[in-house]
Amino acid sequence: MKAVRGQGGTSVEQALGQGGGFRLNKRLVIGIGVIVLAVAYLLVNGLRDNMAYYLEVHEVVDRQASLSGQRVRMGGNIVNGSLISNMQTLERSFVLEQGGATIPVQYTGPVPDIFGDFDPETNSQVLVIVEGQMHGDGAFHATSLQAQCPSRMQAKLAAANQAKQSGTPQ
């Protein structure tokens, strides 16, 4: 094949550095591949560090030693009378119960308005979902806390359904 010469008397191959166009494409593909692999590695490691398994309270109690240092999410009800709060430091400790198994929980931070002990006036218990880690002291140290009260939610849902059936707006 005859080399094509430009106006200055040089061939296209000489201008590209004797096949440099292919070498540039090969480098580009390798560079993109390295970037894709680096992003995938960071994504997998980031997800693994932030992933938390949902376990029942009895599972956490039974596997305390093997769960030490692992992120876990669990839910249950606050045992009546177990909630101790320090409003200055936002520290709270309570016992979480589910299906007869109990575990002490420590949490520092803000809590939802409905968070609290058993309310005898409304006969309602707050369901608490905590995420954190087991520590060697036997307590579950929560880093996040969510609360929901099924009886209040059921009452709101019933009121909404009744209003919908009667045709009155809320």
pLDDT at residue 156, rounded to an integer: 54
**pTM score:** 0.58
- The first and second tokens of residue 19, run together, are 């096949």
Instruction: Report the C-alpha gap between 140 and 130 in whole angstroms.
Output: 9
| Residue 46 vs residues 49, 125, 154: alpha-carbon distances, Å | 5, 36, 37
Mind giving me the DSSP string for the chain?
-PPPB-TTS-BHHHHHTSSHHHHHHHHHHHHHHHHHHHHHHHHHHHHHHH--EE--HHHHHHTHHHHBTSEEEEEEEEPTT--EEETTTTEEEEEEEETTEEEEEEEES---TT-SS-BTTTTB--EEEEEEEE-TTS-EEEEEEEEE-HHHHHHHHHHHHHHHHHT---
- Cross-strand pairs, 105: 94, 140
pLDDT of res. 78: 87
CA distance 53 to 60: 11
* Contact (Cβ atoms closer than 8 angstroms) between residue 71 and residue 131: yes
User: Which distant-in-sequence residues (6+ apart) come within 8 Å of 14 by Cβ?
Assistant: 3
Sign of CA dihedral 84, 85, 90, 94: positive
Consecutive 10-residue runs of the chain (170 residues): their mean pLDDT?
52 51 74 91 71 80 81 88 89 90 92 72 74 85 83 56 60
Residue 62: the pLDDT is 86
pLDDT at position 107 is 94
What's the CA dihedral at 78, 48, 60, 120 to 10 degrees?
Answer: 10
pLDDT at 26: 84
Instruction: Compute CA 72 distance to the chain's CA centroid, rounded to the nearest angstrom.
Output: 10
Residue 158: predicted pLDDT: 59
